[in-house]
Amino acid sequence: MKRVAFYTLGCKVNAYDSTYMQSLFEQRGYTVVPFGEEADIVVVNTCTVTAVADKKSRAMIRRGARSGKVIVAGCLAQKSAEALLKMDGVDAVVGTDDRARIVDIAEQLLSGEKHIDATHGLSGCGYEPMRITAPGEKTRGIIKIQEGCNCFCSYCIIPYVRGRSRSRSYDDIVTEAKALAEAGVRELVLTGIHIASYNDNGRGLGDVVLALDAIGPRIRLGSVEPGVLGEAFVQQVASATRFCPHFHLSLQSGSESVLKRMNRPYTPEQYAEFVSMLRRYFDKPAITTDVIAGFPAETEAEHQESLTFVERIGFSRIHVFPYSAREGTKAYHMTPKVPKAVARRRAGELIELGERLERQYIGSLMGTTAEVLFEEESQAYPGLLEGYSERYVRVAACAKSNEMRVVTLREARGTVARGE
């Protein structure tokens, strides 16, 4: 029996794409083995959002080449197919569309063909039909509802490697959600490149949430772009009984002048107004975000504006990234560049602030109840199981794996709460 191994880098969209491609191999009789074991085919699903992601992707490609014939998929493959095919050990590249052909490409490699470039331009592409009936994880099912982005933020390569925004069929999403629920999934995570732009014949993101609310598993949103969704959407999701009050709203900067250079579609005040609206409709919602440190021409004053704004919002968690120049984007040519040492220092200050805010948020939840999906043994509380609450807080308690139950939060060690 033929063997295939996968290694996936990057976001939840990539995780979904890998699960889909893996299912195609299984349908054709392949056995999926752990990455690093001997295999006939090794698929490395790459990321190119930063230079670090490029480096990690190439490192995993080289590792995969020790085990079998390598097919490079994903965003780096879409961006740099020609360069990748010149790498030792790369046998084929598949981009971010037409992945249904991947097993045929694997068969061509096994029959002796070499250096197959299966990428193509994304102009005019519709949504690529995909469906998963078995989750990639035991407890959580990722559902991809949208692909691509029309925003063209000045720092971002993703619209160039994922194409323009296109939405999945509403009915197909519901069908997949039902199948995942029947397979035992306890949480559905809606993901895409820009899910706030979802639109299928007038049905938006809120309509999808309401349709899935009746199926059973709780519902969590992936990253949502601020400045797109309004109060009608908030009212919709607030009426859903299984919706997790967790909103990942990508901020990127708390400085209005930096946001303009980034081509972001909102001001700090508009962002703050949306967060205030969420807090009117939800009790202590988790507001998480991403922030870029050291964007081109960012002054110390602009960095301080970001720090002040982040503290004002009171995020429950932030992910901080030093700016990474991406060739082909508008920001790539912006000057002056912030020295790397300065960007690292600013990132460190944001991370330190984020950690303090996260501890404050968790502390504010003590004595309240949380619905937790328990998944793994806790490192913070040995002997207990740990999982995420509806507000995306790690909670440890006495529980069974894949059990979802309500606990009362009593204390915390670092960023892990203990419930009983």
- Give the tens place of pLDDT for each residue, 163-191: 999 999 999 999 999 999 999 999 999 99
Mean pLDDT for the chain overall = 96
Instruction: Tokens for 146, please give them.
Output: 């949208």
> Which of 42, 389, 15 has the alpha carbon at shortest distance from 218?
389
Say how far apart CA 251 and CA 204 lie, in whole Å: 22
Question: In this predicted structure, what is the pLDDT of residue 136?
Answer: 63
Instruction: Tokens for 69, please give them.
Output: 């014939």
* pLDDT tens, residue by residue, 327-339: 999 999 999 999 9
Q: Which residues contact 227 (CB under 8 A, 6 or more apart)?
A: 264, 265, 266, 270, 271, 274
Question: 145 falls in which pLDDT band (50, 70, 90)?
Answer: very high
Say how far apart CA 398 and CA 69 lie, in whole Å: 45
- % residues pLDDT > 90 (the chain): 95
Task: Report residue 287 CA to chain centroid gap.
Answer: 15
Element (H, E) at 396: strand 394-397
Torsion of CA 205, 50, 394, 13, to 10 degrees: 40
* pLDDT tens, residue by residue, 393-405: 999 999 999 999 9
Question: Considering only 118-132, 154-168, 210-224, 299-313, which range has the smallest mean pLDDT?
Answer: 118-132
Say how far apart CA 103 and CA 150 lie, in whole Å: 30
* pLDDT tens, residue by residue, 193-250: 999 999 999 999 999 999 999 999 999 999 999 888 999 999 999 999 999 999 999 9
Contact criterion met (CB below 8 Å) for 129 and 106? no
DSSP 186-232: SEEEEE-SSGGG--BTTB-HHHHHHHHHTTSSEEEE-EE-TTT--HH
With a cut of 70, say whether residue 137 has pLDDT above it: no
Task: Report residue 41 CA to chain centroid gap.
Answer: 26
Say how far apart CA 136 and CA 42 lie, in whole Å: 18
Q: For residue 6, list its beta bridge partners.
A: 43
Instruction: Tokens for 171, please give them.
Output: 């009915």
- % residues pLDDT > 70 (the chain): 99
Domains of the chain: 3-117 (3.40.50.12160), 140-364 (3.80.30.20), 369-419 (no CATH)
- pTM value is 0.95
Q: Is 367 helix (H, G, I), strand (E, B) or coil?
A: coil
Q: For residue 374, list its beta bridge partners.
A: 387
Residues 24, 30, 36, 39, CA torsion sign: negative
- DSSP 8-state code for residue 129: P
Instruction: Tokens for 295, please give them.
Output: 């964007």
54-62 mean pLDDT:
98
Whole-Å CA distances, 7 to 4, 35, 135, 352, 395: 10, 6, 16, 31, 28
Say how far apart CA 401 and CA 386 lie, in whole Å: 9
Largest CA distance in the chain: 64
284-296 mean pLDDT:
99
Q: For residue 144, list its beta bridge partners.
A: 191
* pLDDT tens, residue by residue, 86-123: 999 999 999 999 899 999 999 999 999 999 999 988 88
